[in-house]
Amino acid sequence: MAAPGGAGIGPISCPGSGNDAPVFGRALLPHWTLEEGMIFLNHGSFGATPRLVQAEAKRWQSRMESQPVRFFRDELPPALRAAAAALAGFVGTAPERLAFVENATSGINAVLRSMRWQPGDEIVTTSHVYNAVRQTFAFLATSAGVISLEVPLGMPLSDATAITRAIAARMTPRTRLIVIDHIASATAVTLPVSEIVALARAAGVPVLIDGAHAPGMVDLAIDALGADYYVGNCHKWLCSPKGAAFLAVAPNAAVAPHPSVISHGFGQGFSAEFDWVGTRDCSPWLATPAAIDLHHAMGGQALRQRNTDLARTMATMLADALGTQTGAPTGLFGAIATIRLPFAGQGDWVKAHAMRDWIWKNRRMELLVTAFDGQFWIRISAAPYNEAADYEAIPAALLDAWRALT
């Protein structure tokens, strides 16, 4: 395995095939440590880290423990910046504008809690916002009198232009920040982030993009988007170890964010503050360049397009099989997609969780069942190790679960 930033992984092929061309589907499963005998269709929730990347993280852990003082004082600072440079190149920004955080929610909190709020200040977001972010807005409401305004987008969506128009209609002179998802976790919908950023910039309002699902799923060029702040997870579609995420800040951002934990680096600049907040295991961040290498070895842009094509095709197939509809036009989906379930009654999370649990226990299928806008949905994922046959049993499993629980 190469050191951070190096290209140490060749093309990933089917074990024993002798073929150097990238392959996809179940033939790739030996490269992961996923439990045998299951169908894993929920890569989008937490990702799954391949063996090679796990090994790289363990290598860094061993290096840390071999001489901890030397590691933290001498080796970690340049290694961390080298890893940040590799990730910055992958997501399309400058290394000095990118810092590692543990997860996207941590990065969002760093931005929101660094701003100086006044009672009555407004944050505009959408009803597709991630619930952890919604809870952060609730905290700001109680601690600083901030008002969060959710644009009700509903489901299914018809087109992307309606999203931008709805956000524009919700903005007021009190709007201090727009917080939008790049790809909404709850609904799998890709929002028109470039158009929303342009709208906000014309009004002089900063934008924070929650790109938790974007790295490794879509072609990402953060600087070209022009948002003030962008957060993304590496542990999902980039398949890094858990605990690897980033915050990217534009040079002209309205506020320079500080980490949630203030430590020795305070006042020394953005990267210095975030790189050191105390003793912690940085191996997920240091192993991220290996995850980038592996992503390229599996095809890079071709892999991203393959996953997107599979998710869109399977979403259409499932909607037809269930006699329902997808959560949006399939062109708004990446490697995750939502399909409405044909069950009567008000969709609720208790029943959704019960269906997910029944399907796992009785069919050994990990499938996300959700409740949104009063209806039941499933969100499917298309990871490198998935193939079309993985989705064939979903309709029967859902119907069996519904009968068993009602």
Looking at 292, 312, 339, which one is the last position of a domain? 292
Q: Are 83 and 185 in a shared domain?
A: yes
Across the strands, what pairs with 381?
Answer: 336
Neighbour tally for 46: CB within 10 Å: 11
Closest by CA to 291, choosing from 94, 80, 49, 43, is 49
In-domain check, residue 249 = yes
Neighbour tally for 51: CB within 10 Å: 12
Q: What is the DSSP letter of 54?
A: H
CA separation for the pair 104, 108 (Å, rounded): 6
Looking at 274, 292, 310, which one is the last position of a domain? 292
Q: Are 94 and 221 in a shared domain?
A: yes
Number of structural domains (the chain) is 2
> What's this model's pTM, rounded to 2 decimal places?
0.93
Q: Are 156 and 264 in a shared domain?
A: yes
Q: Are 124 and 217 in a shared domain?
A: yes
Helix orientation angle between 131-144 and 104-112, rounded to the nearest 10 degrees: 20
Query: What CATH code is carried by the domain that includes residue 133?
Result: 3.40.640.10
In-domain check, residue 346 = yes
Q: Are 331 and 368 in a shared domain?
A: yes
CA separation for the pair 297, 382 (Å, rounded): 18
In-domain check, residue 34 = no
Q: pLDDT 10s digit of each residue in the chain, 406 long?
A: 334 334 455 555 544 444 555 679 999 999 999 999 999 999 999 999 999 999 999 999 999 999 999 999 999 999 999 999 999 999 999 999 999 999 999 999 999 999 999 999 999 999 999 999 999 999 999 999 999 999 999 899 988 888 999 999 999 999 999 999 999 999 999 999 999 999 999 999 999 999 999 999 999 999 999 999 999 999 999 999 999 999 999 999 989 999 989 999 898 889 899 999 999 999 999 999 999 999 999 999 999 999 999 999 999 999 999 999 999 999 999 999 999 999 987 889 999 999 999 999 999 999 999 999 999 999 999 999 999 999 999 999 999 999 999 8
Closest by CA to 126, choosing from 102, 160, 91, is 160
CA separation for the pair 367, 39 (Å, rounded): 9
Q: Are 330 and 273 in a shared domain?
A: no
Q: Are 139 and 285 in a shared domain?
A: yes
Q: Are 266 and 368 in a shared domain?
A: no
CA 141 to chain centre: 26
| Structural domain that includes position 383 | 301-405
CA separation for the pair 103, 110 (Å, rounded): 11
Given this model, what pLDDT does residue 10 score?
Answer: 53
In-domain check, residue 354 = yes
Given this model, what pLDDT does residue 335 score?
Answer: 98
Given this model, what pLDDT does residue 6 score?
Answer: 40
SS3 of 280, please?
coil
In-domain check, residue 55 = no
H or E element, residue 379: strand 375-381
Q: Are 158 and 220 in a shared domain?
A: yes
Q: Are 88 and 203 in a shared domain?
A: yes
Looking at 292, 326, 358, which one is the last position of a domain? 292
Q: Are 231 and 322 in a shared domain?
A: no
In-domain check, residue 263 = yes
Closest by CA to 239, choosing from 95, 93, 33, is 33
Q: Are 90 and 239 in a shared domain?
A: yes
Length of the chain: 406
Closest by CA to 334, choosing from 380, 401, 266, is 380
Closest by CA to 241, choosing from 10, 368, 51, is 51
In-domain check, residue 120 = yes
In-domain check, residue 17 = no
Given this model, what pLDDT does residue 22 score?
Answer: 63
> 54-81: string of b/e by CB count within 10 Å (b at 16+)?
bebbebbbebbeeeeeebeeeebeebbb
Q: Terminal CA-to-CA distance of the chain, rounded, Å?
A: 52
Do 85 and 95 form a contact (C-beta atoms < 8 A)? yes
Query: What CATH code is carried by the domain that includes residue 336?
Result: 3.90.1150.10
